[in-house]
Amino acid sequence: MLSRTAENLYWLARYVERAEYLARTIDATLRVTALPAAYIGKTNEWDSALLTAGVAASFYQQYEEANERNVVDYLSFSADNPSSIRNCIEAARLNSRSVRTALTSEMWDTINSAWIELQEVWSRGTSTREDLAKFLRFVQETSLRFDGSAYRTMLRNDAYWFSRMGLHLERADNTARILDVKYHVLLPEEEHVGGPLDFYQWTSILRSVSALTAYHWVYRETLKPWLIADLLILNDSLPRSLASCYGNLVRNLDQIGVAYGRQGPAQRHARGIRNRLEHSNMNDIFQHGVHEFIQEFISDNSRLGEIITKQYLI
Amino acid sequence: MAVAFDEMNIPGGDLRPAYQELARWLKETPPEALEYRRQEAELLFRRIGITFAVYGDSESTERLIPFDVIPRIMSGKEWSLLEKGLKQRVRALNMFLRDIYHGRDILRAEIVPDDLIFQNPVFRPEMNGQQVPHDVYVHIAGIDIVRVDSEDFIVLEDNARTPSGVSYMLENREIMMRLFPDLFARHRVAPVERYPDELLSALRSVAPQSASGEPTVALLTPGVYNSAYYEHSFLADKLGIELVEGRDLIVKNNEVFMRTTEGVKRVDVIYRRVDDDYLDPLTFRPDSALGVPGLMSAYAAGNITLANAVGTGIADDKAIYSYMPDIVKFYLGEEPILKNVQTWRCREPKDLAYVLDNLSELVVKEVHGSGGYGMLIGPAATKATIEAFREKLKREPEGFIAQPTLALSTCPTCTASGLAPRHVDLRPFVLTGSKSTTIVPGGLTRVALKEGSLVVNSSQGGGTKDTWILDE
């Protein structure tokens, strides 16, 4: 398969995943900011949204204040923000066009129809909360449809594996970023300074990775911050956990290794990260420092992206 | 201008036989049903992404070509005459190119003037003496055909470089079969779907000798921003070959390779949809980012086949066109089956004088132009346009040819005020491999949607129709 094709497939999946994650983040932030101030304390949730999206610095070059209007606009519709939902969808469509031959017609149709549909939204934005909610839902549904059509219609060959790798790498990055911004509300009770107010922060985190219901199924418990951390970092059964993403990344890389008859640095690096996650428990992680652990993970994960690029995509 | 030949109706009220069933069906079908399916067709085109880009149009970089749901129908008998004529024409084109780049018998026989070849910017001296596998230069030809009466087929233009439009032939049929299954059931329409297979075997058959038993074919595209990009990806998909851009290819030791996730892989045949000028920055335009450095040396070494060959532009040049009847006779010793449009070569003073005197009745075309850009249609032009063109013509007469304004034939077409006749042309696609020349029965029918308009080019607001050849 052409390296350029593999690269396009990989990024296509990343863009779609990122668009969905941004939509979820905005959604969760809207919910928590709708609560009376007494429930959420003094933190600026819109600031957190910018931080988890990794675009705070560029945002403040354009805007004075991180309020709902500005942040929603910047994360969703801005043409200047390279990772706005808009630019993710535009890039996904452009990538799809350049690798049409490697996509199934269902995948192409999903991206192309969404792109057509959204042209109107870009030109007039969303005027009401209802409009905005509809838009955010549409973006999430597009990602689900894309993912589902890839899963159901693609041949199981390198094209599929490269696309899945993009998805899991992006997903791991997103989950890690939200942990990075919110880790302070996830510390064990004795260590952290918040109070019961944090309950709404916790649900907000779970919602942004679509794990609120999952939490209750897994732990059969009221919300406990260290269990939330456990779910998002180590629980292999949650599709957006770091452990699950790495289980998948290792599998996809192995499949490529077998198909091509050789392994390389990408396989070794991914296995290293997976092993570390497998052999960790939350106690150790808290001892070692959650924040340090997450930051190390984020840099390891982006290093894997670089290694994959070097090994296969250029 | 004479009354246009109506492909459906015979003057006096009768129908031509090929259209009888369609006419019956149209009577039974309410106009709303047609309109509904027209909208459905448009939706399908947009969803599949069958779009093209119009250069210099920043408003919307992707546009749909309007699709007319009324098929254009030809009888099997008409088709077999046309088919014979097309094969003859393309055989002559290939022999002409072989001769021009080798012995040049036709120049010595003074059938075609020397300077028309050697001073022509599309003549490629790099091709002198270069062997191409099986002497095939034009593997894929798109010959533009028009009709003015029930007898003759007239060639308007030969396209021997990188003719496009075949994806519309295939997709139009696909969409028609989806929307009008009942209409198909009432006709015996010859299928077009084997085109990709025929194309692939033609391309494989001309692989260089150094290729392995299973030659690797790739389609070279300028990229997503090219106006025909959809077609490139469509064809690569149907042929099951890689769609490559210049940056995907590298040349090592005079062999061409593509960069893959498993390292480099040799390519044997390139179906290129990139113009000569942009193929290799080392040989042609040094500023080209679309090409592959060293490609021409691999070509000279005989390790890669380019389809079409480099330098075929000399055969579809509009000035050469006027010599085509003589070219056919010279190489094949046969009378040309397809007619040429009478052509005045503005490079010849006598012709130029005539053209300047009759500008308001003629169509004047740039010798190297295509896509309907830069031409004058005398009868439809304003006085000012004609005068401006006159100056251009005087300044550079060798850059132009002129032809009478033909009354292109018409077919029934959906318009805002119901069915009405509109002018059409036809581009069949002729494939030449090592052993045979084949033509899938049909082609791309282009239709000028504006009442009275004779310009069918998609870049100038033309539409397309499905073309049916009845299998009798």
| Confidence at residue B53, expressed as pLDDT on a 0 to 100 scale | 64
Residue to test with chain B: of A97, A165, A256, most B Cβ within 10 A: A97
| Confidence at residue A195, expressed as pLDDT on a 0 to 100 scale | 54
Residue B215's Cβ-side half-sphere holds a number of Cα atoms within 13 Å equal to 22
What value of ipTM does the predicted structure carry?
Answer: 0.78
Query: B49–A97: do the CB atoms touch at under 8 Å?
Result: yes
Whether A192 shows a pLDDT value over 60: the answer reads no
For residues B14 and B16, give the distance between their C-alpha atoms in angstroms, rounded to a whole number.
7
Query: B248–A2: do the CB atoms touch at under 8 Å?
Result: yes
- Nearest CA distance, A29 vs chain B (angstrom): 34
| Confidence at residue B317, expressed as pLDDT on a 0 to 100 scale | 87
Query: A3–B260: do the CB atoms touch at under 8 Å?
Result: yes
Whether A194 shows a pLDDT value over 80: the answer reads no
| Confidence at residue A50, expressed as pLDDT on a 0 to 100 scale | 93
Query: A98–B47: do the CB atoms touch at under 8 Å?
Result: no
Query: B47–A113: do the CB atoms touch at under 8 Å?
Result: yes
Percentage of residues in chain A with pLDDT exceeding 70? 95
Q: Quick check: A98 contacting B, CB < 8 Å?
A: yes
Chain A partners within 8 Å of B43 (Cβ) = none
Q: Quick check: A94 contacting B, CB < 8 Å?
A: yes
Query: A4–B248: do the CB atoms touch at under 8 Å?
Result: yes
- For the record, the structure tokens of B305 come out as 């086949």
Chain B partners within 8 Å of A101 (Cβ) = 233, 236-237, 242-243
Mean pLDDT of A248-272: 96
Residue A140's Cβ-side half-sphere holds a number of Cα atoms within 13 Å equal to 18
End-to-end C-alpha distance for chain A, whole angstroms: 12
Residue of B nearest to A111 (CA): B47
Query: A158–B261: do the CB atoms touch at under 8 Å?
Result: yes
Query: A108–B46: do the CB atoms touch at under 8 Å?
Result: no
Q: Residue A114's pLDDT band (boundaries 50, 70, 90)?
A: very high
Picking from A112, A260, A312, the nearest residue to B49 by CB comes out as A112
Q: Residue A118's pLDDT band (boundaries 50, 70, 90)?
A: very high
Picking from B46, B243, B261, the nearest residue to A312 by CB comes out as B261
Whether A256 shows a pLDDT value over 50: the answer reads yes
SS (H, E, C) chain B: CCCCCECCECCCCCECHHHHHHHHHHHHCCHHHHHHHHHHHHHHHHHHCCCECCCCCCCCCCECCCEEEEEEEECHHHHHHHHHHHHHHHHHHHHHHHHHCCCCHHHHCCCCCHHHHHCCCCCCHHHCCCCCHHHCCCCEEEEEEECCCCCCCEEEEEECCCCCCHHHHHHHHHHHHHHCHHHHHCCCECCCCCHHHHHHHHHHHCCCCCCCCCCCEEEECCCCCCCCHHHHHHHHHHHCCEEECHHHEEEECCEEEEEEECEEEECCEEEECCCHHHHCCCCCCCCCCCCCCCHHHHHHCCCCEEECCCCCHHHHCHHHHCCHHHHHHHHHCCCCCCEECCCEECCCHHHHHHHHHCHHHEEEEECCCCCCCCCEEHHHCCHHHHHHHHHHHHHCHHHEEEEECCCCCEEEEEECCEEEEEEEEEECEEEECCCCEEECCCCEEEEECCCCCCCCCHHHCEEEEEEEEECC
Query: B259–A101: do the CB atoms touch at under 8 Å?
Result: no
Q: Tell me how many residue pairs between chain A and chain B have CB atoms under 8 A apart.
A: 53
Q: Quick check: A101 contacting B, CB < 8 Å?
A: yes
Residue of A nearest to B260 (CA): A2
Query: B245–A4: do the CB atoms touch at under 8 Å?
Result: yes
- Residue A304: count other Cβ atoms within 10 Å of its Cβ: 22
Query: B233–A97: do the CB atoms touch at under 8 Å?
Result: yes
Query: A312–B258: do the CB atoms touch at under 8 Å?
Result: no
Picking from A5, A100, A313, the nearest residue to B237 by CB comes out as A100
| Confidence at residue A193, expressed as pLDDT on a 0 to 100 scale | 47
At residue B418, what is the residue type?
G
- Nearest CA distance, B226 vs chain A (angstrom): 11
Residue to test with chain B: of A1, A90, A100, A163, most B Cβ within 10 A: A100
- Of B1, B5, B27, nearest to B16 by C-alpha is B5
Please say whether the beta carbons of B451 and B413 come within 8 A: no
Whether A25 shows a pLDDT value over 50: the answer reads yes
Chain A partners within 8 Å of B44 (Cβ) = none
| Confidence at residue A287, expressed as pLDDT on a 0 to 100 scale | 86
For residues B123 and B116, give the distance between their C-alpha atoms in angstroms, rounded to a whole number.
9
Chain A partners within 8 Å of B175 (Cβ) = none
Q: Quick check: A1 contacting B, CB < 8 Å?
A: yes
| Confidence at residue B58, expressed as pLDDT on a 0 to 100 scale | 47
A56-86 per-position pLDDT tens digit: 999 999 999 999 999 999 999 999 999 999 9
The backbone region for B371, taken as left when phi is positive above 0, alpha when psi lies in -120 to 50, beta otherwise, is left
Whether A41 shows a pLDDT value over 80: the answer reads no
A195-205 per-position pLDDT tens digit: 556 778 888 88
Query: B261–A97: do the CB atoms touch at under 8 Å?
Result: no
- Of B168, B156, B150, nearest to B454 by C-alpha is B156
- Nearest CA distance, B224 vs chain A (angstrom): 6
| pTM for this entry | 0.86
Chain A partners within 8 Å of B222 (Cβ) = none
Chain A partners within 8 Å of B234 (Cβ) = 100
Query: A3–B47: do the CB atoms touch at under 8 Å?
Result: no
Chain B partners within 8 Å of A113 (Cβ) = 47
Chain B partners within 8 Å of A2 (Cβ) = 242, 244, 248, 258-261
Average pLDDT, whole number, for chain B? 91
B326-335 per-position pLDDT tens digit: 999 999 999 9
Please say whether the beta carbons of B219 and B232 come within 8 A: yes
Query: A109–B236: do the CB atoms touch at under 8 Å?
Result: no
Query: A313–B260: do the CB atoms touch at under 8 Å?
Result: no
Chain B partners within 8 Å of A256 (Cβ) = 261
Picking from A109, A158, A256, the nearest residue to B47 by CB comes out as A109
B120-177 per-position pLDDT tens digit: 889 999 999 999 999 999 999 999 999 999 889 999 999 999 999 999 999 999 999 9
- Contact residues, chain B to chain A, C-beta under 8 Å: 46-49, 223-224, 229, 233-234, 236-237, 242-245, 247-248, 258-262
| Confidence at residue B64, expressed as pLDDT on a 0 to 100 scale | 81
Question: Cα dihedral angle (A38, A39, A43, A45), rounded to 10 degrees?
Answer: -130
Residue to test with chain A: of B261, B262, B266, most A Cβ within 10 A: B261
**Which residues of chain B fall short of a pLDDT of 50?**
57-59
Q: Quick check: A307 contacting B, CB < 8 Å?
A: no
